[in-house]
Structure 1
């Protein structure tokens, strides 16, 4: 039997790495990516929150098992990270927190309180009184569209509206492609945080009926403070490979803003708005404080 591990706390990790066109395996106890020429790139998997696996990636059983043991989420995404197909489980789910989340989502009054809290955190002001979840969703949509217009104007980007087709990626205009790449990066680390905190990605409050509804809910709280400005800035620069430029810029923003340190406490704050006593972690489940890992540079970002 393998000895028990004490994974590095999520807030202490590097946010995410993208990997494509390589075989992921474990050699001599180390997590490695082997490219078509046989070159090995070592990945300190235990200090990474999420590995985004793009087309052309193969994962061995040993690698998947090691990632699960150290609490690193594996996410299978489409080209340029614009579509999320499947994800692993970093081992953080707890039944008490799942039940707590479900109780809030199934009670109309409690759900509305949670949605109002999300709105307040996202826009920095309390939402209008006496509005339903559906009405708040409509108000939010109008504000989001206006924010896109303002950011496009700020960065000098020609903007029509938010529109893209994942089946015809290259047919989308540059700003929409950059936005899709940026939000996929955000969804990756948000899903890692949701799962690590012990909650269900599918049990949402504003978004419903999708496998990642709660991930979308939480990501939207941070979207305009992190990745959306990045997307418009990259679109304005018109680089040769905009998707890769967006990924690298998002990675840097996640580090600079210490986003992973904010998401899990943010989830707890949002759900606490339902005024149900939240589940407490047992003392022996508290993660030890471990120093920040060294920066990884551009390892794993292969374009």
Structure 2
């Protein structure tokens, strides 16, 4: 048999555990290449080396040129590449997931296709957003929406009073962005930035962006579900701050994206987002279980909840 060219990929057991990795590194306007087992980034200031095996995700911003060798090293190291907009505020595409296991995706599909479990997850999402509310585990979806509507209305009013920005209602037209008020334009742009970040996390975990629990019928339904967990503390105050500053009104979308970016610089949202998704989909399992990321076992469905080992001939069972 002809030998496969190139260095063999490392064993999964030799790679840095997911929770011990750098969550992400953002690069822009540079050439990304490989030097041995490190990713290099070169611009007019020089070259830096990034240990690929310790990297969770490499966010590639505007002006990046990436070599084939760099992408191969990322894949071998269990890292992912995500193509994003300026300062990582928009998601465009991704290279691969950070996990070889489909446990989260299997759990997501199972939960969303059963009405009882789907309602349970929806209630858990509302509980994450409004932890001080009691009795959510007894509410219907209609009652949850009503509770959410009242809370969000009070949230907008509070930020309107804080910033002095006049607030009427959330109103926007997808076909006429500039037709909305300044604060509504800022909210739309800020939310879009948050959707990009959340989308990148969801696909990195191997989940489906389209299988939502509260939202449904759209390719990003689950993205909207998860993003809603963080709007009250990230995009809503950011949008009202932009609307309150007349010096930022020349380019409201850019100002809103930058305001969201500044709130995400410390990387804590990514860690929180990963933990929240795991808690929602696999609440009874250890959130730091490495098998969620590194399991490379392919099984064959055996009916009901059973599975058998793959890679075997089962002729005797026929």
**TM-score over 0.5 (shorter chain):** yes
* Cα distance change on mapping 1:278 and 1:266 into 2, 3 Å: closer
Work out the number of aligned pairs and report it: 278
Q: Is the 8 A contact 1:81 1:181 kept in 2?
A: no
| SS at structure 1 position matched to 2:228 | helix
**1:270 aligned to 2:293?**
no
| SS at structure 1 position matched to 2:127 | helix
Rounded to whole Å, the distance in 2 between the matches of 1:84 and 1:11 is 24
| SS at structure 2 position matched to 1:204 | coil
Structure having the higher Rg: 2
Rounded to whole Å, the distance in 1 between the matches of 2:95 and 2:203 is 10
* Cα distance change on mapping 1:229 and 1:74 into 2, 3 Å: same
Map 1:1-303 to 2 at 5 A. 1=7, 3-4=9-10, 6=15, 9=18, 13=22, 17=26, 19=28, 25-26=32-33, 30-32=39-41, 47=55, 49=57, 51=59, 53=61, 61=68, 64-65=71-72, 68=75, 69=77, 71-75=79-83, 86-92=93-99, 94-124=101-131, 125-126=133-134, 128=136, 130-240=138-248, 241-256=251-266, 258-272=268-282, 281-282=290-291, 285=294
What is the CA-CA distance between 1:111 and the residue it aligns to?
0.9
Name stretches of at least 5 consecutive residues in structure 1 with no aligned partner: 287-303
Bigger RCO of structures 1 and 2 (CA < 8 A, at least 6 apart):
1
Rounded to whole Å, the distance in 2 between the matches of 1:256 and 1:119 is 25
Q: CA RMSD in A?
A: 4.2
* Cα distance change on mapping 1:151 and 1:225 into 2, 3 Å: same
Cα deviations by residue, 1:26-67 (Å, 9 ceiling, x for unpaired): 365645477xxx88886959557463656x877665555555
Q: TM-score, normalised by structure 1?
A: 0.70
* Cα distance change on mapping 1:204 and 1:30 into 2, 3 Å: same
| SS at structure 1 position matched to 2:59 | strand
What is the CA-CA distance between 1:220 and the residue it aligns to?
1.1
Report which stretch shifted further, 107-116 or 45-54: 45-54
